[in-house]
Amino acid sequence: MMRLMPFLLSSLFLLLSAIPAMAHGTVERVPEIASAEARLFVADSTTGDLVTVDLPSGRTLSRLSTPASIMSLALAPDARHLFVTRGRNTDKDYVTVVNTGFDPETGSARPPFISRTFEGYSPDSSHPVGNLPSIANESKAELLLLDGDLDSLDGLTVRKLALAGNAHYHYAVVDGLLYVGHLQQGFVQVLDLETGKEKTRIAGCPVLHGIAQDEQTDRLFFGCQNETLVVGTQGEETAKAVAHINYPEKQRVAAFLTGKNRVLWGYTEGTLPLLYKLDVSHEPYAYETMEIEPSIRQAVSSDQAYLLSLRRSGTLEIRDSASGKLLRTAAIGKGWSADFHEHVDKAVLPDIATSSRFAYVSLPNEGRIAQVDLSSGTLVRYLEVGGEPTRLELLEKTGGDDTPSSSQPVELPTAAETTDPSLTRGDKTVPLTASPLMQDDHAWLPLRSTAEAFGLHVKWQAGTGISVTGEGLSVQLTIDGQSAKLGGVAKELHAPLQLISHTAYIQEHDLEVLLGIKLLGAGGHAHAHEHDHSTEHAD
C-alpha cells in the first residue's frame, strides 16, 4: 500500500489540475460617461430621495436615498458637489454630500453618487466661505470650513471657527474678514478669517435674517426686524454700521434677491402682497414698494435679467429685475391654499431654479416640475418626477442649451390646470372679476356680489345682521360676530365678517362652509376639512 501512495498522489494532482480554477474572470469595463446640457436636482420631501433629471431629455436618471425630510439643497463652490440637509423634526440632524457627476465646463456627465453622510447640529450649508463649502452647526455655535477632496476618506480637512452664540446665521467674507449675522442675538460678529479671532460686533439688528452684498462698494445689507442694517467693509467704514434703511410698510425684509443695475429686492416668508425695491446706486438708501399678486416664492434668473414671483394661484410672474415691470405671466399649476406654510421640519414650498433660458418650478402638490420659457412666458412642458418635489438646484453646461427637441415628449397642462381665477358652487363656475383682499394669508371676498353671482339673495336686516337665502339655503350673519346660523344651526366662523368701505367681506373658508362657494385659481382652494373650526349645536 505504501508503494501505491506516490502514484495516487500524483494522479490526484493531475486530476485537480484539470479542473478550472475557482477565480473571478475579467470583464470588460464600460465607460459611464455621457454628455448633458444641464442637470436638475430635485428634493422629494416625501421620501427623502434626491432625484436627478438630465436635460434637455427630461429623463429621470437616478433617485438617491438620503435621510428623510429634506430641508435644503446647497451647491458647493466647486459646482461638483451638493449638500443635502435634512429637516429638524427628529433628535438627529444629518448632512449628505452628493457628487453631482456633472462637469459644468464640458457637460460630461456620470451618474451621481453619495460621497458621505455625517451628523450635524442644527446644520445649515447654504453659505460658502470664499471658495470653501461650509457647515454652520447652529446649536453648537461653530462654523466648519471644508477643504480638500469631498469624495475621499483622508483628503478632507475640517477647520472649526467658534461663533458668539447658538443662532441662525447669515455670513459673508470680504477682504479676509468674516461678517456673521446672528438672528437671536441681533448683531453682526466680525472675525479675522485667518486667525478665527473676533474683531468687533455691530449691534442694533434684532431678529437678523437675510444678507446681500453690493458688488461695487462691497457693503453688506442685513435684514432686521424693523429696518435694514448696512455695514461697510472698505477703508475707514470697515466693520462699521454706515446706514439704516426703514421699511415703508409693516412687512419686513428677511431675504434679498440681486437684480441687474445694482437693484436689490427685499422680501420675507409667507404669502406676500408686496416686494421692496432698493437701488443701491443711490444714496441715501430708500426702499420703494411694489405691490404684487399674493405670492409664495420669489427668485431671480441666473443671468439676473428677470425677477420671478410665483403667485399663490399657481401663476408665474416674469418681471424686469431692474424696474420690476411685469413682462409676462404663465399659468403653471393648481395653486395653494391660504393656510399653506413651511416650518423647519421639512421643505414643502415650491422652488424656482433657472437656466439661461428657462425657469423650472417645482409643484409639490402635483408631483411634477413646470418648465417655462422666460423670454415668451410659454409653459414648455412638465417633468413628471412624482412624490413631493420641493427644493431645486440646477447645473448648466457653459453655453449649454436645455431646450427640448421636437422628438422629446412634451406634456402640456389641461384646460382645468390652467384655468383663470374663478368661483364655483355645485356645477356652476363664474370668473373672478377682481382680486380678493388678502389679510393674514387669507383671501376675503365681498359677500353680496359673490353670493349674487350664484343667484343667492343677500339682505341687510336691521338689528339681526345679514341674511343669505336662495336655492334651499338660509344663512344668518352679523358683522364682527363669531358665529353664524346655517339652516338654524350655529356654525363657528373661521373669522368674523369685516365691514370695509360699507361692504361686508367674508373669509374664503367661511364662504365655502356656509355658502358652498369655492375660490379656485387665486390661492383660495380652501376646503372645510383642512381646518375644522365648526362646532354644531341646536338652537
> Does residue 457 sit within a domain?
yes
Q: Is the pLDDT at 25 greater than 90, yes or no? A: no
The separation between CA 402 and the C-alpha centre of its own chain, rounded to angstroms, equals: 22
The residue type at 281: S
| Peptide bond preceding 77 in cis form (omega within 30 of 0) | no
Average predicted confidence (pLDDT) for the chain: 87
Confidence of residue 405 (pLDDT cuts 50, 70, 90): low
Query: CA-CA distance, 475 to 461, in Å (whole number)?
Result: 12
Residue 67: the pLDDT is 87
Query: CA-CA distance, 232 to 243, in Å (whole number)?
Result: 9
Confidence of residue 536 (pLDDT cuts 50, 70, 90): very low
Question: How many Å is the Cα radius of gyration of the chain?
Answer: 29
Residue 360: the pLDDT is 98
Confidence of residue 537 (pLDDT cuts 50, 70, 90): very low
Q: Is the pLDDT at 501 greater than 80, yes or no? A: no
Q: Tell me the per-residue pLDDT of 77-98, one tens digit each, with 9 for 90 and over.
A: 999 999 999 888 888 899 999 9
> Does residue 498 sit within a domain?
yes
- Which of 279-283, 330-334, 459-463, 512-516 bottoms out in mean pLDDT, i.e. has the lowest? 459-463
> Does residue 499 sit within a domain?
yes
Q: What are the angstrom distances between the C-alpha of 432 and each of 46, 335, 469, 518?
A: 34, 15, 21, 11
Question: Is 361:316 a contact under the CB 8 Å cutoff?
Answer: yes
Question: Is 484:408 a contact under the CB 8 Å cutoff?
Answer: no
Question: Is 533:527 a contact under the CB 8 Å cutoff?
Answer: no
Residue 5: the pLDDT is 56
Tell me the three cell numbers of residue 80.
461638483
Report helix, strand or coil for 10.
Answer: helix
Concatenated DSSP letters of 240-302: EEEEEEE-SSS----EEEE-STTEEEEE-SSSEEEEEEEETTSSS--EEEEEEEEEEEEEE-T
Q: Which residues contact 349 (CB under 8 A, 6 or more apart)?
A: 296, 297, 340, 342, 364, 390
> Does residue 434 sit within a domain?
yes
Confidence of residue 173 (pLDDT cuts 50, 70, 90): very high
Q: Which long-range contacts link 5-9 to residues 24+ away (Cβ below 8 Å)?
A: none
Residue 46: the pLDDT is 85
- Counting Cβ atoms within 10 Å, is residue 175 exposed (0-12), middle (13-18) or buried (19+)? exposed
Angle at 476 between CA 471 and CA 482, to 5 degrees: 135
> Does residue 443 sit within a domain?
yes
Q: Which residues pair with 504 in a beta bridge?
A: 499
Residue 91: the pLDDT is 86
HEC sequence for 406-453: CCCCCCCCCHHHHCCCEEEECCEEEECCCCCEEECCEEEEEHHHHHHC
Q: Tell me the per-residue pLDDT of 442-490, one tens digit each, with 9 for 90 and over.
A: 788 889 889 988 999 999 876 668 999 998 899 999 888 888 999 889 8
The pLDDT > 90 percentage for the chain reads 61
Tell me the three cell numbers of residue 105.
465646463
Identify the DSSP state of 128: -
H/E run at residue 40: strand 38-44
**Which residue in this structure is represented by grid cell 429634506?**
70
Q: Which residues contact 153 (CB under 8 A, 6 or more apart)?
A: none
**What is the extent of the structural domain holding 463?**
422-520
Confidence of residue 394 (pLDDT cuts 50, 70, 90): very high
At 385, phi and psi to the nearest 5?
A: -110, -15
H/E run at residue 316: strand 315-320
Residue 441: the pLDDT is 60
pTM: 0.74
Residue 388: the pLDDT is 93
Residue 17: the pLDDT is 55
Taking alpha carbons only, the member of 100, 114, 110, 99 closest to residue 65 is 114
Report helix, strand or coil for 509.
Answer: helix
Taking alpha carbons only, the member of 213, 204, 193 closest to residue 241 is 204
Q: What are the angstrom distances between the C-alpha of 251 and each of 219, 228, 272, 349, 515?
A: 23, 12, 9, 20, 33
> Does residue 503 sit within a domain?
yes
Residue 13: the pLDDT is 53
Residue 525: the pLDDT is 39
Confidence of residue 135 (pLDDT cuts 50, 70, 90): very high
Confidence of residue 533 (pLDDT cuts 50, 70, 90): very low
Q: Tell me the per-residue pLDDT of 353-382, one tens digit each, with 9 for 90 and over.
A: 998 899 999 999 999 999 999 999 999 999
Residue 532: the pLDDT is 32
User: Based on the structure, what is the number of domains in the chain?
Assistant: 1
> Does residue 436 sit within a domain?
yes
The sign one gets for the Cα dihedral 302, 411, 39, 335 is positive
Q: Tell me the per-residue pLDDT of 196-251, one tens digit each, with 9 for 90 and over.
A: 999 999 999 999 999 999 999 999 999 999 999 999 999 999 999 999 999 999 99
> Does residue 385 sit within a domain?
no
Confidence of residue 495 (pLDDT cuts 50, 70, 90): confident
Q: Is the pLDDT at 172 greater than 80, yes or no? A: yes
Mean pLDDT of 253-257: 97
Max mean pLDDT range (251-265, 327-341, 420-434): 251-265
Taking alpha carbons only, the member of 203, 135, 119 closest to residue 169 is 135
Query: CA-CA distance, 527 to 201, in Å (whole number)?
Result: 49
Residue 440: the pLDDT is 60
CATH number at residue 440: 3.30.457.10
Q: Tell me the per-residue pLDDT of 39-76, one tens digit each, with 9 for 90 and over.
A: 999 999 888 999 999 999 999 999 999 988 889 999 99
Residue 338: the pLDDT is 64
Tell me the three cell numbers of residue 9.
498522489
First to last CA, the chain: 113
Q: Is the pLDDT at 531 greater than 50, yes or no? A: no
